[in-house]
Structure formats: structure tokens, C-alpha cells
Amino acid sequence: MKGKRIAAIALMLVAVIIFPFYAAAADTDSMLSGQYRKSGASEAYSKTPNDVRKALGNMGVAGNDAKSLSKFTPVSVFKYITSTAKQNMKSPLRAAAAVLGVLLACALLGAMKNSFGEKSLDTVFGLVSTLCIAAVLLVPVTKCVSFCARVISDASRVMTAFIPVFAALGTASGHPASAVVFQGLLLTVSQAVSQIAANGFVPMVDMYLAFCVVGAISPGVNIGSIASFMRKIVSFALVLCMTVFTGILTVQSVISQASDNVAAKTAKFVVGSAVPVIGSAVSDAVNTVMSCANLMRSTTGALSLMVFIVMFLPPVIDCLMWMLVADVSVIFADMLGIGQASGLLKAVSEAMRLLTALVFSAALAMIVSVSIMLLTGMSG
């Protein structure tokens, strides 16, 4: 008997030595990456414009790799801003040089026109110099306006692509009420922003510019009050839309969060009590699954935020550059006493201010709605 026991122990030791088994925890990174791809986030990311994907790629962010999102740091964003500013600087600087050239030529030639300086022919010469400045400045400015409208339209398309991913991940992470609410809200935001900006605000900015050009060229035709009225309408409408949007978003997020908390706790209690013996283990497993889905949702949300930030930065920088060019030109025109040109340049500066406010509002609407959706999920 003793011999058999010793033989069994020896056999076990030999088996352990010859046939070792290794046990380890699952590779979470690859599992998360796989889940991330299967959630549809990669497909939604493929709907973003190529230049945005390229810019994010330069920062080290890949749309199909969750780990790469950590490379989106303040340093990389600052480098992107600097490179975009350098790239977008050429056209405004060229236009600034052209406008300053015309202003200096007018001032130089104006010194020679003193013989008719106070007479009727002076008005005509002022008109010609203002036309020169309008021709030089308006072509690139209208391109800037079209670029901003195109970016807003692209951003709403990207938001529409991400919405089903958010909804699915929100439901899987135990926030069904929030998923439903935010799905509708984000869809409304993306469509409303696109339609209102493209069909409402941008045409009004264009009309404001057109009226100001006509007013500058024909000082006898006093349409300054119409132009000022249009500027006030656009500003008021922007403030109203943002206020209403923020109010609705806040109320909806509070209500849906409370509903989700109750639903999640009820589900865990039912699972824990209804399943015999292993009920608590199943309840804990449900918790784990929901946490994993929450992580997916946060990652996807973070990716979409990065996409929106990278998309909206170039038009904002462009508008700010043109605003700076117009303001500097106004200073020179006032210094040189070229009043008619100064009026036109002030109008261009105001139009760029309106456009910057519009682009900022569209960017904030999208970024804030995604951020609130993410924060609602995290606190649950």
C-alpha cells in the first residue's frame, strides 16, 4: 500500500515535469481592440474626410486601434495648430500685401491729386481704389466662406455616421434611456446644424458681405443700416440656438441618467435573486460586460471628439487670419485717410467675425453634445 502511494506520487511528479500547463489572464488589449472594431467605430471613422484622417494619423491616432487614442496629447494638438496656421497663412498674407500695396499706391498717388482733392473727381478716384481693394480681397474671402460651410456639412455627416455606434454601445453599457435620448438629440444636432448653417447663416453672411461691398462702392446709396440689421439677426439667432440647445441637453441628460441608474440597479437585483446558486456571480459578470461596453463607448466618444476638433480647427484658424488681415488693413486705411476703402475693410472684418462665431457654435454644439453623452455614461 505504501509502495503504491509512493509510485502514484512519483508518477504525478513526472507528469507535471513532462506535461506543464500554463495559466494566464486573457490578453485584454487585443480583446478590446477586437471589440472596438466589431462595434462599428472603425467603419464610422472611415466616413471622416481623408485630410482629417491623415492629420490624426500624423499624430499617431489610428481609427481602428483603441490604444493609439492616447497619443492625442496637448503637444500633438499644438503642433497640428501650428502646422495648420503656417499652411493657411499664405493666402491671407498675400491678400494683406495686395491690399496694403493698393492702399500705399492710393496714398502715394493721392499726394499728387491735391489739385482736385476737394473737387468732384476725387470721389471717382476713391471709387476706383475701393473697387481695386474689393477685387483683391473678396475672391479669397468668399473661398473661406465656402470652406467653412463645407466643413460644417462634413462634420454633420461624420456625426450621423457615429450616432448608431453610440446608441448601440450606450444600450450595451446599461444606459438604454440615455442611448435613446442622445441618439435623437445627436441626430437633431447634426441635421439642424448642417441645415441652419448651410441654408441660413452662411447665405446671410454672404448677403451681409454683398451689401457692404455695394455700400462701400456707392457711398450715396446708404445700405449700411440693412447690413447692420442682418449682422444683428445672425448674432441673435446664433445666441438663441445655442441657449435653447444647451437647455434641452442639460434637462435631457439629467432625466435619462436617473432613469438609467434605476434600470441598471433593477436588472442586477433581478439577475442576482432570480438565478439560483450562481446569481451573484452572474450579476457581477453583467457588471463586467456593462463596464466593458462603457469603455468602448468612451473610446468611441473620445475618437469622435478628436475628429471634430481636428475638423473644425482649420476653418477657425482661417477665419481668424482673415479677420486679422482685415483689421490691420483698416488701421492702415485710417492712417492714410482712405475712408471709402476703410468702410469696405471694416465690413469684411465684421463678416469674418460672424463666420468665426458660426463655426465655433457648430463645433461647440457637436463637441458639447458628445461630451455630455460621455459624462452621463461615466457617472452611471
Partner 1 sequence: MNIFTVVGLAVTAAILAVLLRQYKPEYAMLTGLAAGIMILVYVVVASKPVISEASALLGKANIKSSYGMILLKSLGICFVAQLASDACRDAGESAIASKIELAGKFAVIIIALPLFEQVAELAIKLLS
Q: Give the footprint of partner 1 on this chain (CB under 8 A).
A: 94, 97-98, 100-102, 104-106, 108-109, 112-113, 115-116, 119-122, 124-125, 127-129, 131-132, 134-136, 138-139, 142, 206-207, 209-210, 213-214, 217
Minimal CA–CA distance to 312: which of 141, 92, 77? 77
Minimal distance, residue 129 CB to partner 1, in Å: 7
**Closer CB to partner 1, 38 or 94, in the complex:** 94
**Closer CB to partner 1, 14 or 331, in the complex:** 331
Minimal distance, residue 135 CB to partner 1, in Å: 5
The enclosing H or E element of 27 equals none
**Closer CB to partner 1, 61 or 212, in the complex:** 212
355's grid cell: 463666420
**Closer CB to partner 1, 4 or 119, in the complex:** 119
- Could you count the other beta carbons within 10 Å of the beta carbon of residue 198? 15
Minimal distance, residue 155 CB to partner 1, in Å: 23
**Closer CB to partner 1, 154 or 206, in the complex:** 206
How far is it, in rounded angstroms, from Cα 293 to Cα 36?
Answer: 9
How far is it, in rounded angstroms, from Cα 183 to Cα 119?
Answer: 67
**Closer CB to partner 1, 28 or 115, in the complex:** 115
How far is it, in rounded angstroms, from Cα 374 to Cα 372?
Answer: 5
Minimal distance, residue 322 CB to partner 1, in Å: 15
Amino acid at 18: I
**Closer CB to partner 1, 104 or 275, in the complex:** 104
Minimal distance, residue 213 CB to partner 1, in Å: 5
Minimal distance, residue 313 CB to partner 1, in Å: 25
How far is it, in rounded angstroms, from Cα 112 to Cα 135?
Answer: 24
- Alpha-carbon dihedral angle through residues 359, 350, 200, 152, given to the nearest 10 degrees: -20
Which are the contacts of 141, defined by CB distance < 8 A and separation ≥ 6?
209, 322, 348, 351, 352
Residue with cell 513526472: 14
Minimal distance, residue 205 CB to partner 1, in Å: 9
- What is the b/e burial string over 26-61, where b = at least 16 CB atoms within 10 angstroms of the residue's CB? eeeeeebbebbeebbbbebbeebbeebbebbeebeb
How far is it, in rounded angstroms, from Cα 348 to Cα 209?
Answer: 7
How far is it, in rounded angstroms, from Cα 348 to Cα 342?
Answer: 10
**Closer CB to partner 1, 165 or 213, in the complex:** 213
First to last CA, the chain: 62
How far is it, in rounded angstroms, from Cα 150 to Cα 202?
Answer: 10
Minimal distance, residue 170 CB to partner 1, in Å: 43
**Closer CB to partner 1, 137 or 373, in the complex:** 137
Minimal CA–CA distance to 366: which of 191, 190, 194? 190
**Closer CB to partner 1, 207 or 375, in the complex:** 207
3-state secondary structure string, 8-23? HHHHHHHHHHHCCCCC
Minimal distance, residue 344 CB to partner 1, in Å: 10
Minimal distance, residue 92 CB to partner 1, in Å: 13
Q: By the 8 A CB rule, do 40 and 164 touch?
A: yes
